[in-house]
Amino acid sequence: GSHIWHPKRSKKMLDCHHFPHCIIRNLIQSDSFTENLQRELLDLNFHEKSNDLYKFNQRDDLYMCMLSVWLFLSLVCVFRAGLFGRFRFWLGEVLGVELKPTVDISCSKYQYTDVLLCHDDELEGRRVAFILYFVPPWESSDGGSLDLFSADVKKCVAVVQSTDGCLSVCLSRFHGPSLERPPRHTEPPFPRSPHLLKDVSVLLLEWLNPLHLDVDYQSQVQQELEDMSVSTGGERDPERVMMAVNVYDVCKYFCVCPLCRCYEVTSLESFPQCVSACWELLLSEAFLLLLSNFTGLRLHYLSPSDEDKEEEKDQEDEQEREATGSSGYKPSANKNTKGPSTPVCVGELRPWAHGDYTLLHDGDASRAEYALDLLLPLSCPDWQTEFGGFTSYIANEEDEELLMVYPEVNSLALVYRDKETLKFVKHIIHRSSTLPIGDSCRRAVYDFSFVYYE
């Protein structure tokens, strides 16, 4: 296999920022070998892979394919022999590391809107990653670049934006002695606050659909929420808020930690009056009491707690025993003697656009709590599901999605999650940015996102 490697004309680019890496151009000497190798790879059966981190097609078991009779003498097998033979020995000598003969090789296809976002892998003995690209004529504007950065760099990973080309990559990893893992990046929790001590009863009556203030309807929603998450019509007149977030040049700041999230958040100080009123409503005593009636959760100090219900039942039992003259009554021994905690919440007004996302993170499961999520999308009448931007809920350490909440105008989504449920917002693809500038979407989805804790 030595005849396939380009001995002299290769142009190398070396860099050590943020860690050692290099680019070897024209690695394979024979153009016909390269074309036939690409054709063989693309003829394999690929499987679509999609989650919070990536979306592309991959053939994982490329080594097993090479063991089959059809590929035993194929160009893929020749390429693998050269890669994990002489090339591995040469690479080990250059790095001063004894690389193991472990075969770790896969092939992936990235097409329009496919993406692999920033991630922090467990190396598990992997010392060198090797990527061989097969692409048609390609420009930097087509996306698909591999971006290397440290945890504090504020930038996103490029996605494939070419509508015609297909980026094919052959990914190999060379294994050696494991290195000690550096400390994980940890973020401080978002600050939480209690409800606003402000009378917004007028706003409640003015903005909300009167149906939602009906006690019977609230009981119905609570029953449905026990079985599944619900979406209800949010406001009576949401156009005012939509107009405000679209027309006003609200001040934004980036909320970026590439390993966890990348999106913008609007500054509270820049809210137009109408948006501020909606914000105050979602933080108000009256609205939290309404949410308590919807959900049965103790989100307001006036809403009954489990201890209150237990004490009320004990009193009813005691009155019944006194009436019948029975004895031997013992009050519940499981009462919580601690005082009730103050319900708190955290909220954001987020404009979602192309390239924005949130990711599941290793620390999410350890910090997970019982919580009620509230999502109120705005300005998304023509938003398409394929654009992304929906909130996905999954069980911890499980791949199957439990629930997906899509942006829907004037629809208030309530999701109660336990400690084993995690969530992320799906990466918003490039196609969303191709909407006409005059479109009512304005290429973005705004939403109020609140999390309430008992």
The reply to whether 312 falls in a domain is: no
Return the CATH number at 236: 2.60.120.620
| Residues 209-237: tens digit of each pLDDT | 788 788 888 888 788 777 665 566 555 55
Listed range (6-15, 34-43, 149-158, 280-289) with the worst mean pLDDT: 149-158
List the structure tokens of 33.
């070998």
List the structure tokens of 80.
């693998």
Give the phi and the psi of residue 282 in degrees, each rounded to 5. Answer: -70, -15
Same domain, 291 and 411: yes
The reply to whether 331 falls in a domain is: no
How many structural domains comprise the chain? 2
Same domain, 168 and 82: yes
Residue-range definition of the domain harbouring residue 145:
2-175
Of the residues 141, 175, 209, the one at which a domain ends: 175
The reply to whether 330 falls in a domain is: no
Same domain, 215 and 353: yes
Task: Report DSSP state, residue 387.
Answer: G
Please check whether residue 277 is in contact with residue 237, taking contact to mean a CB–CB distance below 8 angstroms.
Answer: no
Same domain, 233 and 161: no
Of the residues 122, 140, 175, the one at which a domain ends: 175
Q: Which residue has the tokens 């501020």?
A: 276
Same domain, 221 and 95: no
Same domain, 213 and 131: no
The reply to whether 85 falls in a domain is: yes
The reply to whether 120 falls in a domain is: yes
Same domain, 143 and 261: no
| Residues 288-298: tens digit of each pLDDT | 988 898 888 88
The reply to whether 181 falls in a domain is: no
> What is the reported pTM?
0.78
Predicted confidence (pLDDT) at residue 315 exceeds the cutoff of 70:
no
Predicted confidence (pLDDT) at residue 252 exceeds the cutoff of 80:
no
Give one DSSP letter per residue of 12-46, joined into a string: EEEE-SSS-EEEETT-BS-HHHHHHHHHHHHTSPP
The reply to whether 98 falls in a domain is: yes
| Residues 101-145: tens digit of each pLDDT | 887 888 888 988 888 888 777 777 888 888 888 888 888 888 888
Same domain, 124 and 208: no
Strand blocks (E) in 371-436 = 371-378, 391-395, 401-405, 411-417, 421-425
Same domain, 226 and 361: yes
The reply to whether 379 falls in a domain is: yes
Gyration radius of the chain's alpha carbons: 28
* pLDDT at residue 382 in the model: 72
Same domain, 37 and 141: yes
Same domain, 9 and 91: yes
* pLDDT at residue 304 in the model: 63
Same domain, 262 and 205: yes
| Residues 12-64: tens digit of each pLDDT | 567 776 677 888 888 888 889 988 988 888 888 888 988 998 999 988 666 66
Give one DSSP letter per residue of 159-218, joined into a string: ----SS--EEEEEEEEE-SPPPPPPPP--PPPP-B--B-S--HHHHHHHB-GGGG-HHHH
